[in-house]
Structure 1
Amino acid sequence: MLETILSLYVTLMSVIFAGVANMAFCKYPTYQRLNIPMDAGRLLSDGKRLFGQNKTWKGFIGMILFGGLSQIVWGLILKTIPSLESLNLFYDVYANSILTNLWIGLLLGLAYIVFELPNSFMKRRLEIMPGKPANNQWKWFFIFIDQADSLLGCALIVAVLVPISWTQFFGFIILGAGTHIVINQLLYFLKLRKNPF
């Protein structure tokens, strides 16, 4: 059981690094030309934004690039710790090489950010302010979805690339969501995040 949990963390640790790096990247005033909303401020027929102000091209591109970079760095670290490298599910099928890690990391970063978009779309329809938790009957539903949506995307990438069980698939989502909450609390404490959830 403990080895299974450790394997889930080792496999997607690069996503955690990429998420933290991208949060810092979005917070600081670099590449402001990319800091524009993906929906360009347009309103849909219901008079509401598609995704809102916080889903920017800077964050979208940053997550993909940091995904690739983090996976490469994590692969290099794991090469020095064979006992952990053997727990990474990707390396059961693919070689731990820079090129392999690059495309796996880019895919994970893309899945992470794309799977956040439907959540943003739903929250705009329900008039939940961008970057704010819901203050109504939807509060706990969206707190969970906010943590799990991106992990669902990453779990799907793992499932497509590597044969995994349903237990492992849902383990990625549940364990990842719990880890996401802890990291968000830390980012909030470090003032890299506006809200604790």
Structure 2
Amino acid sequence: MLKIIFDIIMLLIVVNGAPIIAARVFRTHAEQPVDLGVCLSDGQPLFGSSKTWRGLLAALLFCALCGPLLGFTMLFSLVFASLAMTGDLFSSFIKRRKGLAPSDQCLGLDQLPEAFLPCIYAVAVTGLPWWWAVLLPLLFMLLELLVSRPLYWLKIRKRPY
């Protein structure tokens, strides 16, 4: 059971780290926003400029390639990545409605939706007890908060949170 838990956390790291790595590697190439710049009646973008097709595709690709190395099928990994990116887009949508900029910090909202949705799926497929669907996202959030500042110091993240 410990291996499955570790592997799910690793897959969360991969899927959420892939867009950051892709942005560093490709810089301004393929940075078309997922929302195509559409603004809603509140004057705010649907998701914002930081949610790009490059990042979405990187998350799907990295997860599909790394998942099997962790013992998951490619299909499982693609569904997992799709759910993580759905959660990430949902949190960006909510942040825009609250008037927050793309990189503004919103504790919990920045970490939990992108981890909770794929963890519900992973727990259902792997047969882990249901409470892991709650605990794994909380562990991921803690881990992300712990590594955020060092990643900023290493110039991997743009902000220290």
TM-score normalised to the size of structure 2?
Answer: 0.87
| 1:59 counterpart = 2:55 | yes
Residue 176 of structure 1 is matched in structure 2 by 140
Deviations 1:42-67 (A, max 9, x none): 11122211001101111111101111
**DSSP-derived class of the 1:193 partner:** coil
Q: Which has the larger radius of gyration?
A: 1
**Structure 1 stretches lacking a partner, 5+ long:** 76-99, 134-141
Are the structure 2 counterparts of residues 12 and 104 from structure 1 closer, same or farther at C-alpha, using a change threshold of 3 Å? Answer: farther
Q: Distance in 2 between matches of 1:51 and 1:192?
A: 22
**DSSP-derived class of the 1:131 partner:** coil
Residue 159 of structure 2 is matched in structure 1 by 195
Structure 1 segments, 4+ long, off by >6 Å, are none
Q: How far does residue 103 in structure 1 lie from its aligned partner after superposition?
A: 1.3
Deviates more, 1:174-183 or 1:60-69: 174-183
Q: Between the two proteins, what is the percent identity of the paired residues?
A: 25
**DSSP-derived class of the 2:37 partner:** coil
User: Among residues 34, 48, 55, which one is paired with 1:38 in the alignment?
Assistant: 34
Letter aligned with residue 52 of structure 2: T
Q: Provide the alpha-carbon RMSD of the alignment.
A: 2.1
Q: Distance in 2 between matches of 1:107 and 1:15?
A: 12
Q: How many residues align?
A: 161
**Structure 2 stretches lacking a partner, 5+ long:** none
Q: Distance in 2 between matches of 1:161 and 1:16?
A: 19
Residue 70 of structure 1 is matched in structure 2 by 66
Residue 111 of structure 1 is matched in structure 2 by 83
